[in-house]
Chains A and B, each alone.
Chain A
Amino acid sequence: DVKVTQSSRYLVKRTGEKVFLECVQDMDHENMFWYRQDPGLGLRLIYFSYDVKMKEKGDIPEGYSVSREKKERFSLILESASTNQTSMYLCASRSASQYEQYFGPGTRLTVT
């Protein structure tokens, strides 16, 4: 079974703090993704990566950056957290040769 893990289930940070969300997958997948989920909006893609050190912007990259130094790990960085970044953050991975994406358990981030 594919396993995608995220570093925290719940996180509370203050406005202006730098926030790191970590995601690790154990299936040697080439592609990894970060989404945020807000009520009524479904999931929206922030960034994705198709290889180590490679990244592409999704629909809502503003205020976020990412890092992929190793194939199994994809980090989402909030340089200066703001209250409008309070959300559920979901990481996913996918093999380049298959279609299905597999999701981690999510991190519910609250910025106060």
Chain B
Amino acid sequence: GIQVEQSPPDLILQEGANSTLRCNFSDSVNNLQWFHQNPWGQLINLFYIPSGTKQNGRLSATTVATERYSLLYISSSQTTDSGVYFCAVTKYNNNDMRFGAGTRLTVKP
């Protein structure tokens, strides 16, 4: 099956810093989502982005489908950005979603 690799596995930032999280996938996909899991365990949809670039406030994402990677940018990080960020993809149908192992982000005040 399709493999999803996220890097870095852990990231520690000072408040106000910028960061880039990466997601590589091993095959072509028809769906890619970024999620943020808050410290209480809730996964929140950040972006549905199978290709192209999207922005939502301080967060933006870019997927280069032909090169099989996606990037999540967090600017001016805040302590509330802490948590685990997951990338998830589907190839054939949208019921077969594959998750990466996540990037754990800690933003220090």
Instruction: Find out whether the CB atom of A106 lies under 8 angstroms from the CB atom of B101.
Output: no
Q: Does A43 contact B (CB under 8 A)?
A: yes
Closest to B41 in A: A106
Give complex CA distance A56, B31 in Å.
20
Q: Does A74 contact B (CB under 8 A)?
A: no
Instruction: Find out whether the CB atom of B101 lies under 8 angstroms from the CB atom of A56.
Output: no
Instruction: Find out whether the CB atom of B94 lies under 8 angstroms from the CB atom of A99.
Output: yes
Closest to A101 in B: B97
Give complex CA distance A33, B95 in Å.
8
Among the listed A33, A42, A94, which residue makes an inter-chain contact with B101, where contact means beta carbons less than 8 Å apart?
Answer: A42
Instruction: Find out whether the CB atom of B86 lies under 8 angstroms from the CB atom of A99.
Output: no
Which residues of chain A have C-beta atoms less than 8 A from B66's C-beta? Answer: none
Instruction: For the complex formed, measure the closest distance between the CB of B91 and the CB atoms of chain A, giving whole angstroms.
Output: 13
Which residues of chain A have C-beta atoms less than 8 A from B50's C-beta? Answer: 99
Give complex CA distance A94, B4 in Å.
21
Give the B-binding residues of A (Cβ under 8 A): 31, 33, 40-45, 48, 50, 56, 88, 90, 92, 94, 99-103, 105-106, 108
By Cβ-Cβ distance, the 6 closest A-B pairs, closest first, are A42-B99, A103-B43, A106-B41, A43-B99, A42-B101, A99-B31
Could you give 22 example pairs across A and B, Cβ below 8 Å?
A31-B94, A33-B97, A41-B101, A42-B86, A42-B100, A42-B102, A43-B86, A43-B88, A43-B99, A44-B99, A90-B41, A90-B43, A99-B48, A99-B94, A100-B45, A101-B45, A103-B43, A105-B41, A106-B41, A106-B42, A106-B43, A108-B41
